[in-house]
Chains A and B, each alone.
Chain A
Amino acid sequence: MEVFANEYPDEAWVVRAALGSAFVALAIGGLMGLIQTLHRTGFYDSLISNADYYTVLTLHGVAMVLLFTIFFLVGFFQWAITDSLGRKSEDIRITKLWYGMMVLGSAMSAVTILGGFVDSGSLSGVEADVLYTFYAPLEAHPLYYMGLAVFIIGTWIAGFDWFRSWWAWKKENPDERMPLRTFMVLTTMLMWYLASLGVAISVVFFLIPWSLGIFDSVNSLLTRTLFWFFGHPVVYFWLMPVYMMWYVIMPKLAGGRLFSDPLARIVFVLFLVLSVPTGIHHQYVDPGIAEGFKFLAMTNTMFLLLPSLLTAFTVVASIEHGARQRGGEGYFGWLTALPWGKPAFTGMTLAGLMFAAAGFSGMINAGMSINYLVHNTLWVVGHFHMTVGTAVALSIMAATYWFLPKITGREIFSRRLGLAQVLLWFIGMVLMGNAMHRAGLAGVPRRTADPTYDQVIYDGAYGAIGELRFQIALGGVLLSLSLVLFFAHLVLSSFDIGERAAATPDSIPAPLSGPEQAPKVLDNIRLWTSIAVVLILITYILPLASIVTDGGGWLGDSYGVIVAEYVLPAVSSTIDIFVGVVA
């Protein structure tokens, strides 16, 4: 058996390129994060003006949650497909095409964001200080939206590329079960197609024509709702590759085997079915959406806890299996038999631990009325820095220590350095995440360059605001240091001077309860996609219709009619066609 990099050199090139892009985005986003954390807490606010803070914030958001996460995902998924099906890309030119499109789209959007720092010259007027949510009528340069569209179309082609591999494999292996990693990739991509339709419609039909001056206005609530149609499921697009790592890599690192393959499949099916019809929970305190629709979105969201709660059990049980095979005993004693010396294992475990805590603040966010307490406060920022910022980002960095040798053929530089890095990230985020949650409960708002106001006194029930600001700044500095260690490690690893030279190939062990135990219906992704579509229609058609008909007046009657008579039917028939084509 060969190392992946030698067996599939072309695919490994794309994987490395995608990871490279992801880490460039991580470096840029991390630098912006450091500037923000010091500016907003008042510890060093003379580097940028308050106006430039929002440019920094836009860049931080876009670089971290769209570019870093998704570039890593496409690289990791390319590996998962190629390695689990054991076949080369059907046409490597297509593979390179989608990667190229994603880079092009990123560059287009990045230029417009960076234009926000320039006040004169040829770039003046080119800006996109709209944050990563780009709520209209805040307006960005058209190129910002176009870049986003190109980037998303790139991901669509990537999904198509992976489906092609699966179709070709199935033809040659008609009686075999779909490999688990392939199953995870394909269900995730189906969810992504459904989810990204919302933002694609918003950008292509509304925001691009409007920013080009073809329309005078857009329905602000409509584009916002379409954004969140995409904006919540996108978090599962960040999370699914991490779940794949937790299911596939962690048991192996722990010296055990995946506890249950069928249960892992059920979890991914639940994500496919339930991820999209939840976006309205970001709009619990929006006017213009009736309470009943919000309650429905909450019910879906709460049931979406199920796959994550099941994952917690299955993954921990798989690790426990490893610990017991390594000689671990007792109710808790087995925890000491885990391979804590491996940065990949320790990093992913700490990430999972933080996800358990962040899962709780997510449950609070999901509770409809309790949103009055936390909506748009720093609580929410604390929540997603512990989820995407740690469960996802720390898992990605930790897994990289395991993954890098496979795609480069060289071992990592030093385990100890890796351990120090993941620990530092965890400690930094404990400080920052905890302080942000507490500041949010005191009412400190998010998304502002300076949260101090003459008119406002925060009642810091759990610690003075000054202490919380210090913790946020200190946490931010530790996170930045951790990033520096991570990048230093990547550079050192590329010279093949580590503790062990050249990677040794290894394989993923078989699950304890294998795919032969899983009912065949689980692999019927056409069925699950249809159910997902039905749920989406139930959750979204009525609120969207009421937003369009109520808002039609101020858009100009003719425009409202165009939307109601042409756009909505086009959307629903597109979805129908999509269901027909899948799998």
Chain B
Amino acid sequence: MSSETETTEDGIVREIGHDEFDPVGTLALILIYFVIIGGLWAFMYFVEFLGNGPTVV
């Protein structure tokens, strides 16, 4: 590694306090996750599982 990365170990260019921080990126990522999970769940239950007959009744 270069010495440059040594001197700016954390690379922090600004301090952001609690009230100035809205985690919009996190919200965006987690909403995508939510949609994927919901869709996969429906696929797994209704297509993979219920379509895998015979099933115990």
Contacts and interface: CB of A to CB of B under 8 A. Distances in A.
B57 to A, nearest CB: 11
Contacts of A325: 12-16
Interface string A210-239: 000000000000000000000000000000
B44 A370 contact: yes
A341 B23 contact: no
Contacts of A324: 14, 16, 21
Given A360-B40, A372-B55, A320 B30 contact: no
A100 interface: no
A324 B33 CA distance: 22
B30 A316 contact: yes
Nearest to B21: A321
Contacts of B11: 255, 326-327, 339
A363 B23 CA distance: 26
B12 A332 contact: no
A325 B14 CA distance: 5
Interface string B37-48: 100110011001
**Which interface residue of B26, B40, B56 has the most chain A CB atoms within 10 A?**
B26
Given A255-B10, A326-B12, A360-B37, A332 B45 contact: no
Contact of A367 (B15, B45, B56): B45
B25 A312 contact: no
Interface residues of A, number: 36
A325 B26 CA distance: 15
A321 B52 CA distance: 45
Contacts of B29: 316, 332
Name which of A328, A332, A339, A373 has the most chain B CB atoms within 10 A of its CB.
A373
Contact of A316 (B17, B23, B40, B45): B23
Interface string A317-349: 100110111111011101100010100000000
A168 interface: no
B35 interface: no
B56 A372 contact: yes
A462 B37 CA distance: 20
A580 to B, nearest CB: 40
A67 to B, nearest CB: 33
15 contacts: A316-B30, A320-B23, A325-B14, A325-B15, A325-B16, A331-B24, A341-B5, A360-B37, A367-B45, A370-B49, A372-B49, A372-B56, A373-B49, A441-B48, A500-B6
Interface of A: 255, 259, 312-313, 316-317, 320-321, 323-328, 330-332, 334-335, 339, 341, 356, 360, 363-364, 367, 369-370, 372-373, 415, 441, 499-500, 512-513
Given A316-B29, A320-B25, 17 more contacts: A255-B11, A313-B23, A316-B25, A316-B26, A320-B23, A321-B16, A321-B23, A325-B16, A326-B10, A326-B11, A326-B13, A330-B25, A331-B25, A363-B41, A373-B48, A373-B49, A513-B18
